[in-house]
Homo-oligomer: A and B are copies of this chain.
């Protein structure tokens, strides 16, 4: 049955998910903040900045009017970067927002309030059903219909199954999971580790080094997330190790790319100035270290990433600190 669906945010992943929903016969509108850019996307049928070389079918609608975007929507897909989310939600407060299910795609943590995107939604629209989607799903590949598997998690299994049905295609396999906290944290935390993996690349290290970093990074993700109440098993799934692997290896990975440039010696402010797309991991690192202090969790890799990003620590020195920690038993 055709449903009206609003996708908030005209980035690569929001657009890729809009294409999936369109393929499944839904009535999909993408909202973006920049009316001029959006008009260009509509006219060219291509999202040149965030999803180049993918033709966007005529059936896909665009608007820069938030109220129009959400009107009649059964599902609101939230694909807004974390630091813009609060602003978008504030503007929504002035609109008539239907009692739609919210599906959040945003992989970050607000570094000022330490809230997750789903929490920001829930606080603004109490009682609304808020689900999250995560997993290894680079937009460029999803939009090209290259097979991918993701996880949708919601507090209610019925909501998760409803969204699973909405999103599953022959090339896009959706699993359900009933640990939305873990799924959302997995997507956010992995970006911090991906920056470390990028640094390793930038320093010219190899796959052994990177795999070791990812493995120990996964331990850190679990350590923090379980303290916050998430389930360990979620991190051995698509939203944990799966997403971590893709983010740390894919040439599309923007957090990995930030790390690589850091490793090559480029200062952070220059990297950020030259990057069109938002690398959530930079801000998430701040949030993660604040949470680590609050919950008294030891996160050596996140700590070194934080030092490199915000305290000018030399990357090869940071990696050396990680390697030279006293050798010990392998434990979680």
Contacts and interface: CB of A to CB of B under 8 A. Distances in A.
A147 B219 CA distance: 19
Given A136-B212, A211-B136, A329-B177, A324 B170 contact: yes
Interface stretch (A25-33, A65-73, A87-95, A240-248): A240-248
A206 interface: yes
Interface string A143-164: 0101111010000000000001
A138 interface: yes
B330 A151 contact: yes
**Residue of A214, A243, A329 most packed against chain B (CB within 10 A):** A329
A305 interface: no
A215 interface: yes
A171 B209 CA distance: 10
Interface stretch (A107-115, A230-238, A287-295): A230-238
A249 B247 CA distance: 13
Nearest to A148: B208
A332 interface: yes
Given A173-B327, A233-B332, A330-B151, A141 B208 contact: yes
A67 to B, nearest CB: 34
A205 B330 contact: no
A250 interface: yes
A164 B323 contact: no
A37 to B, nearest CB: 26
Contact of A242 (B148, B176, B215): B215
Given A175-B329, A329-B176, A330-B238, A149 B212 contact: yes
Interface string A214-228: 111011001000000
Nearest to A324: B170
A174 interface: yes
B212 A323 contact: no
B147 A205 contact: yes
Given A151-B330, A249-B249, A218 B238 contact: no
Interface residues of A, number: 55
A151 to B, nearest CB: 6
B173 A205 contact: no
A241 to B, nearest CB: 6
A242 B213 CA distance: 9
Contacts of A208: 136-138, 141-142, 146-149, 246
A171 B137 CA distance: 33
Contacts of A212: 135-136, 147-149, 173, 238, 242
Contact of A250 (B176, B207, B237, B243): B207
A209 B332 contact: no
16 contacts: A136-B211, A136-B212, A136-B215, A137-B208, A141-B206, A142-B208, A146-B209, A149-B216, A177-B330, A207-B250, A212-B242, A215-B237, A236-B236, A236-B332, A237-B330, A238-B330
- For the complex of A and B, list the 9 residue pairs with the smallest distance between their C-beta atoms, beginning with the closest: A136-B211, A215-B242, A148-B208, A149-B212, A175-B330, A141-B206, A207-B250, A211-B246, A211-B245
